[in-house]
Structure 1
């Protein structure tokens, strides 16, 4: 099972002017991100609009990602939704050369803990790829079901997208008490994860995903290194002048966790198109605010000499 480290890159999925998948833009987006040095690539996941992709488009996204990445870092692909489709996506990811899966929640229904464990087990049975299970929305694990899921041979990690740190701490304790020597990783996958990195680190969850890496790897990596090296002044400057304003803007409209990232990629020079419904693209007013926030973050990096 691949061991993940560093900043995790969750690329957007580009669409052209007609709304079709734009694989050429995807390749450029991936190459730019890889040159910045992520610890892994998670393609066709939440930021990559997994929910909006047809199975054939998904297979193309995975194939392009694996080809461009060329073994430099592990490639994980999203899977989830209705169980038959989740299993289909899992097999497509395997056939496309992905190294693992990020298992997103099942569609719509509220599920008992035992049902979640059975869902993960059924998807795992479709492929030998290792699974990281996304703890968010309607896929909410309690400590006992988290431990039962972690015991499944192919499950190699949990991604927290909820941010209830007391609950997560109990999950971490339960899982680590069950695993023996099995390699297993938790990571912070809350929207704009940098805003809660310090809190997650306090309970032993150091790894995190970074949507900001998609459009401003300079800022993402500056923050990562500042946290790692104990540069509290730079951490606070980036939080107060960039990450917290970005969170405030993100919270103004549902779905902006994806739409703002895609818009920021466009603002930094790569046309990746807009988001597909039911998401909406940012308003002109919010685009101007997004640009100001990005410029403020880059200015912090310049002032600190880390860009």
Structure 2
């Protein structure tokens, strides 16, 4: 496996109400990912609430993660920030702390142009001096990477992969084919959006950047192995077991649901950062049913 391939498990980042990272709880979550055998950890991604954390807390989280996993699994660290200079510093912090790779989304308040995103990505890739994955997350950033921009960025030193959203028409194979025809052979294309994991991997995607794997890594890994082996029947059977959870992800947003799952599994009792509110007790009960269904 290369760095940006296979199952990348994205953990929540447990914090107290003041936004201070609970490094002991984070280490417990990452240990589950290591033990399950995921191919990488996604730290401080959207699931990890990076946008809610101060630079010092992000630095503490990376240091704790590197110390906890002791080189057993690669760590890909999200370094998104509104300002380019801040993202450059975050990339340098992650590199110095021992991260294996970086993940960068073009955060913004003012809508960005393609040239602005190109220069932002190029600057951060240079500052971090680690393999970097473009985070194409229009649902959050409201910026959509064109194929032309992806091709241009693939020529920038250190930019080695892209994390794609699910195609609106569900045509993974067509989208992958069009991109691969224009990109270097070693440029990795993976997908987020957990309910599209089976389809993206069966179509030849390099990686599943998985929310649910942050807390249920063994179950997510079974789906990954089946799909990457081309076992459509098994992959679709396993994906069907996830469907109640996928439905809750779509209804409430996976971020809120993940915090509920952490409590249900007894891994940590923390609320999402405000202004995000925890799920109501009756909705948590629905999450519990979905988790029990999956694990059964």
TM-score between the two structures when normalised by the length of structure 1: 0.86
TM superposition shift of 1:172: 5.6
Aligned residue in 2 for 1:297: 294
Aligned residue in 1 for 2:91: 90
Inter-partner Cα distance in structure 2 for 1:90 and 1:118: 15
Inter-partner Cα distance in structure 2 for 1:201 and 1:232: 10
**Matched-pair contact (CA < 8 Å) for 1:263–1:281:** yes
Unaligned residue ranges in structure 1 (runs of 5+):
300-307
RMSD: 2.4
TM superposition shift of 1:175: 5.4
Inter-partner Cα distance in structure 1 for 2:278 and 2:39: 29
Inter-partner Cα distance in structure 1 for 2:230 and 2:162: 26
Aligned residue in 2 for 1:302: none
Aligned residue in 2 for 1:52: 52
TM superposition shift of 1:265: 1.7
Residue 277 to residue 216, structure 1, CA distance change in 2 (3 Å): same
Aligned residue in 1 for 2:102: 101
Q: Which moved more, 1:74-83 or 1:103-112?
A: 103-112
Inter-partner Cα distance in structure 1 for 2:125 and 2:221: 33
Inter-partner Cα distance in structure 1 for 2:215 and 2:31: 13
Aligned residue in 1 for 2:11: 11
Unaligned residue ranges in structure 2 (runs of 5+):
none
| Deviant stretches of 4+, over 6 Å | none
Aligned residue in 1 for 2:131: 130
Aligned residue in 1 for 2:191: 188
Residue 201 to residue 228, structure 1, CA distance change in 2 (3 Å): closer
Aligned length: 291
Inter-partner Cα distance in structure 1 for 2:51 and 2:171: 29
**Matched-pair contact (CA < 8 Å) for 1:55–1:89:** yes
Note the alpha carbon deviations across 1:177-210, whole angstroms, 9 max, x for none: 342x5x22110112xx2x2134324653141022
**Matched-pair contact (CA < 8 Å) for 1:42–1:78:** yes
Aligned residue in 2 for 1:244: 243
Residue 103 to residue 272, structure 1, CA distance change in 2 (3 Å): farther
Inter-partner Cα distance in structure 2 for 1:249 and 1:9: 19
Inter-partner Cα distance in structure 1 for 2:233 and 2:148: 39
Tell me the secondary structure at the aligned position of residue 147 of structure 1.
helix
Inter-partner Cα distance in structure 2 for 1:36 and 1:105: 31
Note the alpha carbon deviations across 1:92-142, whole angstroms, 9 max, x for none: 111111111100222233222222212211212322111100112223111
Inter-partner Cα distance in structure 2 for 1:277 and 1:17: 8
TM superposition shift of 1:87: 1.2
Residue 185 to residue 230, structure 1, CA distance change in 2 (3 Å): closer
Does 2:159 match 1:160? no
Inter-partner Cα distance in structure 2 for 1:234 and 1:175: 27
Inter-partner Cα distance in structure 1 for 2:272 and 2:173: 31
Residue 155 to residue 207, structure 1, CA distance change in 2 (3 Å): same
Residue 151 to residue 172, structure 1, CA distance change in 2 (3 Å): farther
Residue 136 to residue 96, structure 1, CA distance change in 2 (3 Å): same
TM-score between the two structures when normalised by the length of structure 2: 0.89
Inter-partner Cα distance in structure 2 for 1:61 and 1:169: 38
Residue 108 to residue 2, structure 1, CA distance change in 2 (3 Å): farther
